[in-house]
Amino acid sequence: MPELPEVETVRRGLAPVMEGQVIAEARVNRPDLRWPFPPGMAARLTGRRVLRLRRRSKYILADLDSGETLLIHLGMSGRMLVSGDPLGRFVHDHPAAEKHDHVVLDMDNGARITFNDPRRFGAMDLLETATAEQHKLLALIGPEPLGNDFSEPYLVAAFKGRNTPVKSALLDQRIVAGLGNIYVCEALFRSRISPRRKAGQIAATRVAALVPIIRQVLAEAIEAGGSSLRDFRQADGELGYFQHSFDAYGREGEPCRAAGCTATIARIVQSGRSTFYCPQCQR
């Protein structure tokens, strides 16, 4: 499931071919994904100019000149495929339509954006731009981890008195936006905080230290995604999924990479999800 860095990578891949461009034709091939599409979605998109492509948590938001904002959520398996040659960078034609191509946007610069989602946990909706942040999907989401509101004092205050394990606290979207299993495991590994420790019982200095670590982990993943945008595979139009090397996530039974540590990475299940960590250096 894509987390914040993957979604940001998709946004960065789409921005150059969508921002400032008119959607010459939108085609919607089914009535719904996870939820029904809004009424008349194809007609409400066709002819509209995309003013800005932004991201909030794991949602991509395309502000249109109609005063509406197209909300895109990739769900578990959603992909945004770019074809055509709008930037003169990629030489390839539009691929043949595939079974799970649910929404197709033909831009007036020749780019085609195809939303393909085999498992259909993705979503698209149209919101009023002026009140988009108050939409039920967005209203309760906490600060962006790469934004100024996510600060050391903020996280210390958010953890105060909390009896849940720090792993669960960081996955709580009301505390911080967009973090998922992978990057929480990685951030806790670097901070040497045990994922089992109760959020409210970690010393304030250690909680504060998590803030720059989380930012760094995300920034590195976005950077890796950015390089994948430039590689050959991405020229085929597949955005936002890339191989990335992790220190803890997915490494059960493999040697801990922390300097001087001789332990192996363990896997436990917390709130129904796998946590990977080093029982020796994460305390």
Among residues 138, 224, 258, 268, which is the contact residue for Zn ion, using CB under 5 A?
Answer: 258
Stretch that binds Zn ion, among 46-54, 69-77, 179-187, 256-264 (CB under 5 A): 256-264
Which one of the spans 55-63, 124-132, 219-227, 258-266 is the region binding Zn ion (CB under 5 A)? 258-266
Report the alpha-carbon distance of residue 180 to residue 75 in Å, rounded.
13
Q: Does 188 bind Zn ion (CB under 5 A)?
A: no
Query: Considering the complex, what minimum distance in angstroms separates the CB of residue 204 from Zn ion?
Result: 24
Whether residue 273 lies in the annotated active site: yes
Asked whether position 264 contacts Zn ion by CB under 5 A, the answer is no
Q: Using the minimum distance from each CB to Zn ion, give the nearer residue, 173 or 280.
A: 280
Residue 245 structure tokens: 């090397």
Q: Considering the complex, what minimum distance in angstroms separates the CB of residue 200 from Zn ion?
A: 25
Written as one string, the DSSP assignment of 79-116 is EEEEES-TTSS---PPPPP-TTEEEEEEETTS-EEEEE
d(CA 6, CA 228): 11
Asked whether position 137 contacts Zn ion by CB under 5 A, the answer is no
Give how far the C-alpha of residue 234 lies from the chain's centroid of Cα atoms, to the nearest Å.
Answer: 17
Strand partners, 56: 59
* Residues of the chain by 3-state class (helix, strand, coil), percent to 5: 30, 25, 45
Give whichever of 59 and 276 is closer to Zn ion, judged by the CB atom: 276
Interface region with Zn ion, contact rule CB under 5 A, candidates 36-44, 158-166, 225-233, 249-257: 249-257
Pairing of strands 101-107, 50-56: unpaired
Q: Catalytic residue, from 44, 58, 79, 167: name it.
A: 58
Q: How many residues belong to the site for Zn ion (CB under 5 A)?
A: 7
Q: How far is CA 16 from CA 20, 52, 165, in A?
A: 9, 10, 41
Q: Is 281 in the site for Zn ion (CB under 5 A)?
A: yes
Q: Is 186 a catalytic residue?
A: no
Q: Which stretch binds Zn ion (CB under 5 A): 9-17, 122-130, 229-237, 262-270?
A: 262-270
Indicate which residue of 3, 6, 8, 68 is catalytic.
3
- Reply yes or no on whether 2 is catalytic: yes
Cβ neighbours of 148 (radius 10 Å): 8
Residues with Cβ within 8 Å of 272's Cβ and at least 6 positions away in sequence, in order, are none
Catalytic residue among 215, 220, 273, 279: 273
Sole window of 110-118, 120-128, 247-255, 273-281 interacting with Zn ion (rule: CB under 5 A): 273-281
Nearer to Zn ion, 223 or 254 (CB): 254
Decide if residue 278 touches Zn ion (CB under 5 A). yes
- Dihedral in degrees, nearest 10, Cα atoms 38, 52, 24, 115: -60
Residue 256 binding Zn ion, by CB under 5 A: yes
| 248 counts as binding Zn ion under rule CB under 5 A | no
Q: Does residue number 263 form part of the binding site for Zn ion (CB under 5 A)? A: yes
Q: Shortest approach of Zn ion to residue 162 CB, angstroms?
A: 25
Report which of 50, 61, 82, 84 is spatially closest to residue 8, judged by C-alpha positions: 61
The residue count of the chain comes to 283
Give per-residue burial for 24-46: e unless 16+ CB within 10 Å, then b: eebebeeeebeeebeeebbebbb
Where along the sequence are the contacts to Zn ion (CB under 5 A)?
Answer: 256, 258, 261, 263, 278, 280-281
Active centre residues (catalytic): 2-3, 58, 273
